[in-house]
Amino acid sequence: MEISRLEKLLEFIKNEPNDEFLKYALATEYLRLNQADKALEYYEDLVNNHPQYAGTYYHLGKLYEALDRKQDAINTYEKGMEVTKAKRDNHAFSELQAVYRELIGYDEDDDY
């Protein structure tokens, strides 16, 4: 019998419970399996316990959007932009900025 990807990841996390990449991989796998509640647990664990793991912010924000938690998504994108700017991760920053602006309805052509 073939061991599923989820089972492998769960086995790995037993040995490395604080590994941020494994937590991220588990969140992504749970999301792929349409288990948003479990994905949310791992993504929220990452932003709370591994706030420098920049990849989390985009995916957690998108999950919040899918769950109709707009303000949580906005807050997540804002925090992610802070983290990625401080890390000088321009690619991740620009991705977060784009989804943030889309969510808040920002239009560069608007006169503010």
In this prediction, residue 64 carries a pLDDT of 98
**Which DSSP string corresponds to 47-98?**
HHH-TT-THHHHHHHHHHHHTT-HHHHHHHHHHHHHHHHHTT-HHHHHHHHH
Distance from chain centroid for Cα 77: 9
In this prediction, residue 106 carries a pLDDT of 85
In this prediction, residue 2 carries a pLDDT of 61
In this prediction, residue 45 carries a pLDDT of 97
Neighbours of 97 (CB within 10 A): 17
- All residue ranges of the chain with pLDDT < 50 are 1, 111-112
78: its two tokens? 């804002």
In this prediction, residue 112 carries a pLDDT of 40
Tell me the domains of the chain and their CATH numbers. Answer: 5-104 (1.25.40.10)
Rg (CA), the chain: 16
Start-to-end CA distance of the chain, whole Å, equals 61
pLDDT digits over 37-63, tens only? 999 999 999 999 999 999 999 999 999
